[in-house]
Amino acid sequence: MRTKGWSVLLVIATLLLAACGCAQEEPAAPQPKMEALTIADGDSAEGWNVAEATMTPSGTHAREGKALNFHIDVDHTTGQPDYPIGWPRTYHNNPEDQRDWSQWDFLDFSLYADTSREKLPGTPLGLILRCPDRAGSWSRTLSEATKGEWVHFRFPLADIPNISNCTAIQFFISESNYKHGDVVDFYVDELALLRYAEPTIVSLRPLQGLVYGDAGSLRIEVDVSGMKEAEHRLIHLHLKRGAEGAATSVAEVTQGRQTLLLTWAGDRLEVGDHTLEAGIEGGSVTKTAPVRVVPSPWE
């Protein structure tokens, strides 16, 4: 559960070592700092509308405190008159001043599932975002939901059209995927928008799958987030073969996706596997990508 309301929280990822009494796991990779904007928490179901279901705060299953319990008693006889096997659903109408999600990077939440069934069906639960209406809907089947387990969902908002006007969030099931009399409970926790709180390299991709040793350059696509509009930062690129540096470059980047050029002069690159490493000014996490160097056909 997050703090009630749409308050902005700073989420700082930490490194953890899990001791099992026999051997230690590898430490988790460092994560960039994130800001979170709470959409709904488990303290109140205010703002949630329901049909053929209930949505209530519950402490039965929650990451911390309470979660929102989307409860359905599957009944194949009492749906809408034309569709007795219906679509139990719950939806949250976002206030007008909280519909612009264009400055955020992810929709994020955790989901716990419980049911009278032995296991959930292959299509257990659906998610819909109205941006702004039915014609502009974005939807996903949450097939990863698993009985008796917490599952974390994170959806990039860049993949969703019209995210500057997101009017509602909806969870639903189709009763046709369940048997009459099934009881289903989904616990939604920490439903929030996330964004990078520091300059962050979201993705790093060499645009050539193979590089000739004598090519002299490598084109690279980077996607940068966590920066203000029109802000510029320096990005440091290093191409390495083991611990040895093969090429180094510094470039200026802005928010968003862009293409950079890493160049080198002098000796040819050694044939084999290299690692491209990138770090951005003001960021705490580096990004890496593999690069394969092959002999030049002109050698």
pLDDT in single tens digits along all 299 residues of the chain: 444 444 444 443 333 333 333 344 556 678 899 999 999 889 999 999 999 999 999 999 999 899 999 999 999 998 777 778 899 999 999 989 889 999 999 999 999 999 999 999 999 999 999 999 888 899 999 999 999 999 999 999 988 989 999 999 999 999 999 999 999 999 999 999 999 999 999 999 999 889 998 899 999 999 999 998 889 999 999 999 887 788 899 999 999 999 999 988 776 888 999 999 999 999 999 999 999 999 988 76
Domain residue ranges of the chain, discontinuous segments joined by +: 8-196, 200-294
pLDDT number for residue 250? 95
- The CATH number that domain 8-196 falls under is 2.60.120.260
CATH superfamily of 200-294: Macroglobulin (MG2) domain (2.60.40.1930)
How many C-beta atoms surround the C-beta of residue 132 within 10 A? 16
pLDDT for residue 14: 35
pTM: 0.81
pLDDT of residue 132: 92
